[in-house]
Amino acid sequence: MHPPVQLVAIDMDGTLLPTFSQSVSQRNAAALRAAQQAGVTVVIATGRRQAYTAPLLEGLQLRADMPLITSNGAVTRTLGGEPMDRSHLQARVAREICGLLRPFGALVFTFDRPGRGELVLEDMDQAHGRIALWVEANRKAIEVVKPLEDALRDGEDPIQGMVAGGLSKMRLAEKALKTSVWSTACECVRTEYPGRDLSILDLLPPGVSKGWALQRLAAKLGIDRKQTMAIGDNWNDVDMLEWAGQGIVMGNAAQDLRTIAKTRDWKQAPPNDEDGVAVVLEKALAQRARAQA
């Protein structure tokens, strides 16, 4: 029997959000509020950046001091925008990665600054062709710089890079990076959407991941990993699922990931389109109430 949950980290896309929606369901929102009211620290842990995450949580009556782990662990801020933790990818490393990964797909770098220039890419048409919805949603933050290396000046380090393309091509890109001299200077985290033949490689500072950020946050809050739950559906969630004492994989996760879950004692939640997050939280809160009684 696991100890009562004190901290829960929840992925956004494919986990908290329904498949074809950018709105948190009423049941999931109610479960998040109930967890906060019960004294559980609720954390959103996502590959999205802060400005692309916070608006989805507006109007849900969640605490302003709720932590958001964004950019796959590179930045942690509260929902209200207060900084908590941050890490950077060195600009010189980012410049070299441009030359290495440019042949594989659309490259984007994210900077921790508001407004236009928060996202920098060099080929809008190439990005639009593969990640059109993302481009439209983020158009006001995008600046086009060609060559991309010109945006990566020393002293202006990005927090994250991203290259997007088809599944097979991104696996080749990941192999190219991991066998290059830059493999130890850059963390590579893969997210896959097989139904859309879309894969995204997030390029992060060495050692940075959602799990890394969750571990640092738990230490800051004085919460043990055995009291920590993580809920996710994709490969970029694996580190936090491994670190948390209670890992939960969504029923809509890739078959390979669900197979791995069985070997690592991770539980399985119902799919995201069936309010799987709410089902898990409701059960955890009931267990917590029994323990307190």
**Prior bond to 206 cis, omega within 30?**
no
State residue 65's pLDDT score: 97
State residue 95's pLDDT score: 96
* Bridge partners, 109 (sequence order): 120, 161
- Residues 1-21 pLDDT 10s: 688 999 999 999 999 999 989
State residue 1's pLDDT score: 66
Domain boundaries, the chain: 7-86+208-292, 91-204
Over residues 235-251, the mean pLDDT reads 96
Over residues 39-45, the mean pLDDT reads 98
- Residues 112-168 pLDDT 10s: 888 899 999 998 877 767 677 788 888 899 999 999 999 999 999 999 999 998 999
- Residues 175-208 pLDDT 10s: 999 999 999 999 998 888 888 888 999 999 999 9
Gyration radius (Cα) of the chain, Å: 19
Cβ(122)–Cβ(146) under 8 Å? Answer: yes
C-beta pairs of 114-119 under 8 Å, 24+ apart in sequence: 114/51, 115/140, 115/141, 116/140, 116/141, 116/142, 116/143, 117/141, 117/143, 118/49, 118/51, 119/143
Residue 111 has pLDDT above 90, yes or no: yes
Distance of CA 42 to the CA centre of its chain: 15
Question: For 7-86+208-292, which CATH superfamily applies?
Answer: HAD superfamily/HAD-like (3.40.50.1000)
- Residues 252-264 pLDDT 10s: 998 899 999 989 9
Distance of CA 285 to the CA centre of its chain: 24
Over residues 78-90, the mean pLDDT reads 95
Q: Tell me yes or no: is domain 91-204 CATH 3.80.10.10.
A: no
% of the chain exceeding 90 in pLDDT: 80
Cβ(240)–Cβ(211) under 8 Å? Answer: yes
State residue 234's pLDDT score: 94
